[in-house]
Amino acid sequence: MRMVDLIAKKRDGQLLENSEIEAFVRNYTAERIPDYQASAFAMAIYFQGMNEQESATLTKAMAASGDQLDLSRIDGTKVDKHSTGGVGDKTTFILSPIVAAAGVPVAKLSGRGLGHTGGTIDKLESFPNFRTELDQDAFIELVNKHKMAIAGQSGNLTPADKKLYALRDVTATVNAMPLIASSIMSKKIAAGSDAIVLDVKVGSGAFMNDLPAAKELAQTMVNIGNELDRRTVAVISDMDQPLGSMVGNALEVKEVIDVLRGGGPDDIRRLSVRLAAHMLVLGGKAENVEAGEALANTLIQDGRALNVFRKFIANQGSDPSLVDHPERIAQAEHTVMVNTSEPGYVTGIEATKIGQAASMLGAGRMTKEDTIDHAVGVELKAKVGDRVEKGDPLVVLHANQDETTEVEALINESYSIGAQKPDERPLIFTEMV
Ligand code: URA
Q: Mean pLDDT by 10-residue block, N- to C-terminus, for the chain (433 residues)?
A: 96 98 98 98 98 97 96 95 94 98 95 76 95 93 96 88 94 94 96 96 92 97 97 97 97 98 98 98 98 98 98 98 97 98 97 95 86 96 98 98 97 98 97 95
For residues 318 and 367, state if they share a domain: no
CA distance 350 to 181: 25
Domain boundary among 324, 350, 381: 324
Nearest protein Cα to ligand 1, atom 5: 180
Q: Enter the DSSP assignment of 378.
A: E
Instruction: Provide the pLDDT for residue 112.
Output: 77
For residues 281 and 364, state if they share a domain: no
Instruction: Provide the pLDDT for residue 154.
Output: 75
Ligand 1 close to Cβ of residue 167 (< 6 A): no
Instruction: Provide the pLDDT for residue 114.
Output: 67
Cβ-Cβ contacts under 8 Å for 158 (sequence gap 6 or more): 62, 63, 65, 66, 186, 187, 190
- Ligand 1: distance of its center to the CA of 54 in Å? 18
49: left (phi over 0), alpha (psi -120 to 50) or beta: left
Instruction: Provide the pLDDT for residue 428.
Output: 98
For residues 243 and 115, state if they share a domain: yes
The closest-lying atom of ligand 1 relative to the alpha carbon of residue 184 is 3
* 149 is a domain residue: yes
CA distance 200 to 86: 10
For residues 400 and 371, state if they share a domain: yes
For residues 26 and 141, state if they share a domain: no
For residues 344 and 361, state if they share a domain: yes
Cα–Cα nearest to 200, from 179, 221, 225, 169? 221
- CATH of residue 352's domain is 3.90.1170.30
The closest-lying atom of ligand 1 relative to the alpha carbon of residue 183 is 4
Give phi and psi for 405, each to the nearest 5: -55, -45
- Ligand 1: distance of its center to the CA of 367 in Å? 18
CA distance 217 to 199: 11
For residues 343 and 314, state if they share a domain: no
Cα–Cα nearest to 375, from 337, 407, 331? 331
Q: Which helix (H) or strand (E) holds 338?
A: strand 334-339
For residues 192 and 246, state if they share a domain: yes
Instruction: Provide the pLDDT for residue 300.
Output: 98
Ligand 1 close to Cβ of residue 59 (< 6 A): no
Cβ-Cβ contacts under 8 Å for 355 (sequence gap 6 or more): 87, 115, 116, 117, 205, 242, 247, 364
Choice from 59, 180, 220 to test ligand 1 binding pocket (greatest atom count within 8 A of CB)? 180
- CATH of residue 217's domain is 3.40.1030.10
CA distance 225 to 222: 5
- Ligand 1: distance of its center to the CA of 161 in Å? 9
- CATH of residue 15's domain is 1.20.970.10
* 63 is a domain residue: no
Nearest protein Cα to ligand 1, atom 3: 184
* 353 is a domain residue: yes
For residues 387 and 241, state if they share a domain: no
Domain boundary among 267, 298, 324: 324
* 192 is a domain residue: yes
For residues 338 and 320, state if they share a domain: no
Nearest protein Cα to ligand 1, atom 2: 184
Domain boundaries, position 45 = 3-49
Ligand 1 close to Cβ of residue 114 (< 6 A): no
Domain count, the chain: 3
* 104 is a domain residue: yes
Ligand 1 close to Cβ of residue 190 (< 6 A): no
* 132 is a domain residue: yes
Choice from 174, 189, 216, 224 to test ligand 1 binding pocket (greatest atom count within 8 A of CB)? 174
* 89 is a domain residue: yes
CA distance 422 to 170: 38
Q: Enter the DSSP assignment of 115.
A: B
The catalytic residue positions are 82, 161, 168, 183, 187
Instruction: Provide the pLDDT for residue 60.
Output: 98
- Ligand 1: distance of its center to the CA of 228 in Å? 19
Q: How many CB atoms lie within 10 A of CB 76?
A: 16
Ligand 1 close to Cβ of residue 345 (< 6 A): no
For residues 315 and 346, state if they share a domain: no
ipTM, 2 dp: 0.96
The closest-lying atom of ligand 1 relative to the alpha carbon of residue 174 is 6
- Ligand 1: distance of its center to the CA of 183 in Å? 5
Domain boundary among 281, 297, 324: 324
- Ligand 1: distance of its center to the CA of 57 in Å? 17
Cα–Cα nearest to 427, from 243, 251, 257, 157? 243
pTM of the model: 0.96
* 162 is a domain residue: yes
Instruction: Provide the pLDDT for residue 218.
Output: 98
Separation in Å, CA 187 to CA 36, 159, 205, 217, 348? 24, 10, 23, 16, 33
Per-residue burial over 401-423, b if 16 or more Cβ lie within 10 Å, else e, is beebeebbebbbebbebeeeeee
For residues 111 and 161, state if they share a domain: yes
Choice from 153, 164, 183 to test ligand 1 binding pocket (greatest atom count within 8 A of CB)? 183
